[in-house]
Amino acid sequence: EADIYQTPRYLVIGTGKKITLECSQTMGHDKMYWYQQDPGMELHLIHYSYGVNSTEKGDLSSESTVSRIRTEHFPLTLESARPSHTSQYLCASSERGRTGDQSTEAFFGQGTRLTVV
Amino acid sequence: KNQVEQSPQSLIILEGKNCTLQCNYTVSPFSNLRWYKQDTGRGPVSLTIMTFSENTKSNGRYTATLDADTKQSSLHITASQLSDSASYICVVSDRGSTLGRLYFGRGTQLTVWP
């Protein structure tokens, strides 16, 4: 089983609250990702990081923000949660592949199921 | 547009039977293709990863094939078990950037009945 952890697993909060979803990995991976997944739908990349102090927005527009102060830690923050943020959030990590060869494995956390009421 | 299409969307089979899931992609330039198993409410877990030069790869009762010319892949599950009930996701990575961007299919929801 992969050494990547997300907390909390489930979260129900009220509209307007600030929340932080935690993601940590102990594999020393440079690359980390946040995905959003609605039931029965594909994963959408919302944020990624190549390494410490490197963060980029993904394909899906998101009102969340991320930080990468330490290699192992990649938290995602919502300043003011809304019902439209209700979804499953998945964190993943992978090694930085060699140039031209990106066959490195991506490991996923268990996910955080967020419900905003 | 880079896309990954999976079929069928859902599948129900009886325990002990075999099944094959399909994945077609348009991702270019192609780097690798992965099959993941995702149990309900959990994160995806890797089953196989295949590069351009690999045609088939097995992992226990799971066998993946790849035809890079036709841009098709299949995942064959042999002697299905109840624990195989899950969503199976095809993920294709491009080599056009250092990120190795991952493109996800919507998955095939497999249900195995006793």
Supply the pLDDT for residue A104: 67
What's the pLDDT at A2?
Answer: 63
Q: Encode chain B (114 residues) as per-residue pLDDT tens digits.
A: 779 999 999 999 999 999 999 999 998 888 889 999 999 888 999 999 898 888 999 999 999 999 999 999 999 999 999 999 999 999 998 876 555 678 899 999 999 999
The structure tokens listed for B68 are: 């890079």
Residue A94 confidence (pLDDT) above 90: no
What gap in Å lies between CA B60 and CA A60, rounded to an integer?
Answer: 35
Q: Are B41 and A102 in contact (CB < 8 Å)?
A: no
What is the structure's pLDDT at A100?
45
Closest chain B C-alpha to A103 CA, distance in angstroms: 6
Distance from CA of B83 to the nearest CA of A (A): 17
- The rounded distance, in Å, linking the Cα atoms of B40 and B86 is 7
User: Cβ of B46 and A106 within 8 Å?
Assistant: yes
Q: Tell if the CB–CB gap between A102 and B89 is shorter than 8 Å.
A: no
Dihedral over alpha carbons A42, A75, A67, A24 (to 10 degrees):
-100
Q: Report phi then psi at A84, rounded to 5.
A: -70, -15
Pick from B31, B43, B105: CB nearest A103: B31
Q: What is the pLDDT of residue B98?
A: 53
Instruction: Write the DSSP string, B99-114.
Output: T--EEE---EEEEEE-
Which tens digits make up the pLDDT trace of A31-43?
999 999 998 888 9
Residues of A in contact with B101 (CB under 8 A): 45
**Higher confidence at residue A106 or residue B2?**
A106
CB A77 within 8 A of CB A13: no
CB atoms within 10 A of CB A26: 12
What residues of A are in contact with residue B46 (Cβ under 8 Å)? 105-107
pLDDT at A97: 59
Residue in B98, B99, B106 nearest the CB of A41: B106
Burial profile A72-82: b = 16 or more Cβ within 10 angstroms, e = fewer: bebbbebeebe
Nearest to B105 by CA among B6, B35, B29, B38: B6
Residues in chain A within 8 Å Cβ distance of B45: 2, 108
Which of B42, B51, B104 has the CB atom closest to A43's CB atom? B104
| Selected residue with higher pLDDT from A104 and A102 | A104
Q: Is the pLDDT of residue A26 over 80?
A: yes
Contact A16, A78 (CB under 8 A): no
Confidence of residue A47 (pLDDT cuts 50, 70, 90): very high
Is residue A57 a contact partner of residue A47, using CB atoms and an 8 Å limit? Answer: yes
pLDDT for residue B42? 87
CB pairs under 8 A between A and B: 66
Mean pLDDT of A87-101: 77
Q: How far apart are CA A75 and CA B38, in angstroms?
A: 23
For residue B110, give the amino acid letter: L
Shortest Cα–Cα distance, A15 to chain B (Å): 23
The pLDDT mean for chain A works out to 89
Q: Which residues contact B36 (CB under 8 A, 6 or more apart)?
A: A108, B44, B45, B46, B47, B88, B89, B91
